[in-house]
Amino acid sequence: MKYLRHCGLVLLALALAVPAASARKTVIPVETEHTALILSVRENGVLETLHYGNRIADPKAFGGFVTGLSEDNGSGPMAYPTTGGRYLGEPALHVRYADGYHNTELVYAAHQVRRNGDVVTTEITLKDPVTLLEVKLFYEAYQKEDVISTHAEIRNGGRQPVELLNYASGSLYLDADQYHLTHFHGGWADEMQMDGEVLTHDTKVIESRRGTQVTQCNNPSFLVSLNADRLQENVGEVVAGALAWSGNFRLSFEMDESNRLNVLAGISPFASAYKLAAGQTFATPDFLYTFSGRGAGQASRNLHAWARNFGVYGGGQINPTLLNSWEGAYFTFTTETLLRMIDDAASMGLEMFVLDDGWFAKDYPRNGDDAGLGDWEVNTAKIPEGIDFVASYAHDKGLKFGIWIEPEMVNPQSNLAHAHPDWVVQSPGRELYQSRNQWVLDLSNPAVQDFVYGIFDKTMQLAPNIDYIKWDCNRTVADFGSKYLGKDQDRFFVEYAQGIYNVMRRLRTKYPDTIVQCCSSGGGRVDYGALKYFNEIWTSDNTDAFTRAYIQYATNLIYPACVMASHVSAVPNHQTGNVTPLKFRFDMACSGRLGMELQPKNLTERERALADRCIRSYKQYRDLVFTGDVYRLASPYEGDYYALMYVSQDQSRAVVYTYCLKYQNRAVGAHVFRLDGLDPARSYRVTELNVDRSCWWGSGRTHAGDFLMNGGFNPVLLKTFDSAVFYLEAE
């Protein structure tokens, strides 16, 4: 689960290995360029968190720091709180031992620091002298990105097996007078809706127990504003964090009697007591977080930079624009339909054609969602010439070719379901629930992992150059259980998620360059665990540009624009009844990885011309979308406008997107946006793009950065669903 990403580490400081009793206030700073997590060993050997926030010039100043709680009143802000001793709060670690007791009291044993390029790893060993349980805490400090990634390795050093009841990746104590929590909630076609509240005492829990499609309801990420009653974009202290795990997760926020906030992030303990045999180790997934003294904006930029450099497979690479067949053809197509769509995609300047659902299964042909999943052979009744023929046609037209699979699932109406009923997630003696007419395959079973690997591998052999795979996963687990695991059902949820990673690791060894999209009925699997292997996410099945404003704004608080696939579809589409202008749809989709998902032949000539213009200009500035820094100018959650911009690292180029979501006050006139992230001392030539009718008096002219940032950038958006896009280049 935890991969040695940093081989050849340079040893900087090693094993203080000081006996606990004399380790009074050993200060262990975990620092990045601008932030610091200060840990320290108390006189009783307990590892505490003293500070997380701005970097402090001399961490040793914390030598005499008192954490506030008396010995009788608790255990102070433990760096990895365990059930036992005086600690009675939410634990990071809760262990049940073979004798039935629950007490774990960890004391510091040693620590070491290693550096590999810009990543400094601090490894701290804690031990329970009575139960011999050992915990290694790892803190990887990404210097330039100001991100810390932490995880724990829990080793049963005793002679009897133990059960891990809670095993969070990390704990983060924060200290402020008030905390405002932002988290993300939603449902199908409505993912990543911002939700939030001022925290009160006791514990707020954000959890998902869905097994698959884990993030359709909640996302394993958050932002906490300190000393504030709301999230602010450019001011205030904000801690943003995310758990890199694609299975059930749990985030908890406990405000204690000293007003401190303990943030725990980890695998959900729901039905997942994990047995550790003597000598065995369990490694938790990574919990990453960042601190910003300049609001949510800087917190997002830190996470995005980390994601592009370390967290996303192929991060920083430009992925192609595309036409996807789904909303244009659904299940009803012939070879001819596909070829004409390829012709249209090529003539519009798109760079890839993706054949979505419906191309496979012979005995139970996939002509709807009720049959065929599991039988991954080409349906020659629909495509007699085979996939290679279609892929070659696309390649000959200069397009890349991608194809859809949903390898974790099976329709009861399939040969696979008949051949391997025992591969289906189930509990004995019960009728299996269906959702979207399908069952979930049991990825905790290595034989199923081999099969799922084989689906991807065989699909890749259908044509010599398949460039892109859309990996889908269209239901949650129900009636969970695994025939393979026998009596060990508690392992099911953890081993399912590990099963996906096992498969993806193998696939990435064989197919390092294939672009793989992570789709789960849209944004049902959006997390930094999946993004270690996937290049991008299908942000939502909802391609309605109005709803996308909310979904994309919130997604981009945590995840970078380079992973956000965003497609232009027809209106009204099957998700909402909204009828937005094509320009508005393009302007929205161009703020992520642009694609189209409609039948191009249904566009009018005028619409085609606009589409061509939008695609052409997007290809010229999209490096800003993929690698630039985001600055959010107006939040759809707070007003009637949404606006954002991406700025190149050297501040010489930028693209600005402005949208009117609801126009209701003619008296106000054109809304003024203050641009951000530019160099106020430089001048920028501003060019309006995706032009339908020109929207700003200053387009085509050069303006001082300082004017654009402080003066009046006021494009005329005087109708609901008006929008405008501008490109800026320093002169």
> Binding ligand GLA by CB under 6 A: which of 538, 546, 584, 721?
538
CA-wise closest residue to 171 among 130, 131, 124: 124
Catalytic residue among 356, 472, 527, 676: 472
Q: Rounded to the nearest whole angstrom, what is the least distance from the CB of residue 245 to ligand GLA in the complex?
A: 21
Q: Rounded to the nearest whole angstrom, what is the least distance from the CB of residue 212 to ligand GLA in the complex?
A: 13
Nearer residue to ligand GLA within complex by CB, 326 or 584: 326
Q: Which residues pair with 114 in a beta bridge?
A: 11, 121
Cα distance between residue 678 and residue 675, in whole Å: 7
Q: What binding mask, one character per residue, do residues 295-334 give for ligand GLA by CB under 6 A, x or -? A: -------------------------------x--------
CB 220 within 8 A of CB 209: no
Q: Rounded to the nearest whole angstrom, what is the least distance from the CB of residue 587 to ligand GLA in the complex?
A: 22
| Contact between 356 and ligand GLA per CB under 6 A | yes
Q: Rounded to the nearest whole angstrom, what is the least distance from the CB of residue 721 to ligand GLA in the complex?
A: 24
| Contact between 252 and ligand GLA per CB under 6 A | no
Residue burial 133-156, b: 16+ Cβ < 10 Å; e: rest: bbbbbbbbbbbebbbbbbbbbbbb
Number of residues that bind ligand GLA (CB under 6 A): 12
Q: What binding mask, one character per residue, do residues 363-392 give for ligand GLA by CB under 6 A, x or -? A: ------x-----------------------
Token pair 């180790």: residue: 281
Q: Rounded to the nearest whole angstrom, what is the least distance from the CB of residue 521 to ligand GLA in the complex?
A: 5
Q: Which helix (H) or strand (E) holds 674?
A: none
Q: Rounded to the nearest whole angstrom, what is the least distance from the CB of residue 247 to ligand GLA in the complex?
A: 20
For the record, the structure tokens of 182 come out as: 């932002």
Catalytic residue among 190, 375, 541, 544: 541
Q: Rounded to the nearest whole angstrom, what is the least distance from the CB of residue 455 to ligand GLA in the complex?
A: 15
Residues 6+ apart with CB under 8 A from 322: 345, 350, 351, 352, 353, 354, 400, 402, 468, 595, 596
Q: Rounded to the nearest whole angstrom, what is the least distance from the CB of residue 540 to ligand GLA in the complex?
A: 8
Nearer residue to ligand GLA within complex by CB, 225 or 521: 521
Q: Is 608 helix (H, G, I), strand (E, B) or coil?
A: helix
Residues 577-636 that bind ligand GLA (CB under 6 A): none
| Residues written for the chain | 731
Residue burial 388-413, b: 16+ Cβ < 10 Å; e: rest: bebbbbbbeeebbbbbbbbbbbbbbb
Judging by DSSP bridges, how do beta strands 162-175 and 179-185 pair with one another? unpaired
For the record, the structure tokens of 222 come out as: 């958050």
CA distances to 54, 76, 81 from 262, in Å:
18, 11, 9
Residue burial 629-648, b: 16+ Cβ < 10 Å; e: rest: bbbbbbbbbeebbbbbbbbb
Q: Which span sits near ligand GLA by CB under 6 A: 28-36, 519-527, 528-536, 662-670?
A: 519-527
CB 171 within 8 A of CB 81: yes
Q: Which residue is nearest to ligand GLA (CB)?
A: 357
Q: Rounded to the nearest whole angstrom, what is the least distance from the CB of residue 541 to ligand GLA in the complex?
A: 4
Is residue 541 part of the annotated active site? The answer reads: yes
Q: Which span sits near ligand GLA by CB under 6 A: 105-113, 271-279, 303-311, 514-522?
A: 514-522
User: DSSP labels for 483-498?
Assistant: TTTTT-GGGHHHHHHH
Q: What binding mask, one character per residue, do residues 396-425 give for ligand GLA by CB under 6 A, x or -? A: --------x---------------------
Q: Rounded to the nearest whole angstrom, what is the least distance from the CB of residue 454 to ligand GLA in the complex?
A: 21
Cα distance between residue 215 and residue 272, in whole Å: 18
> Binding ligand GLA by CB under 6 A: which of 31, 286, 442, 541?
541
Cα distance between residue 717 and residue 127, in whole Å: 62
Nearer residue to ligand GLA within complex by CB, 155 or 475: 475
Q: Which span sits near ligand GLA by CB under 6 A: 154-162, 312-320, 518-526, 586-594?
A: 518-526
> Binding ligand GLA by CB under 6 A: which of 67, 438, 521, 599?
521
Cα distance between residue 288 and residue 148, in whole Å: 6
Nearer residue to ligand GLA within complex by CB, 326 or 393: 326
Nearer residue to ligand GLA within complex by CB, 443 or 473: 473
> Binding ligand GLA by CB under 6 A: which of 113, 354, 519, 678?
519
Q: Which helix (H) or strand (E) holds 232?
A: none
Q: Is 245 helix (H, G, I), strand (E, B) or coil?
A: coil
Nearer residue to ligand GLA within complex by CB, 52 or 404: 404
Nearer residue to ligand GLA within complex by CB, 351 or 541: 541
CA 237 remoteness from chain centre = 22
> Binding ligand GLA by CB under 6 A: which of 140, 190, 254, 472?
472
Cα distance between residue 586 and residue 591, in whole Å: 9
Q: Which span sits near ligand GLA by CB under 6 A: 55-63, 343-351, 515-523, 702-710?
A: 515-523
Cα distance between residue 121 and residue 531, in whole Å: 22
Nearer residue to ligand GLA within complex by CB, 325 or 445: 325
Is residue 357 part of the annotated active site? The answer reads: no
> Binding ligand GLA by CB under 6 A: which of 150, 474, 498, 575?
474
Binding site for ligand GLA (CB under 6 A): 326, 356-357, 369, 404, 472, 474, 519, 521-522, 538, 541
Q: Which residues are catalytic?
A: 472, 541
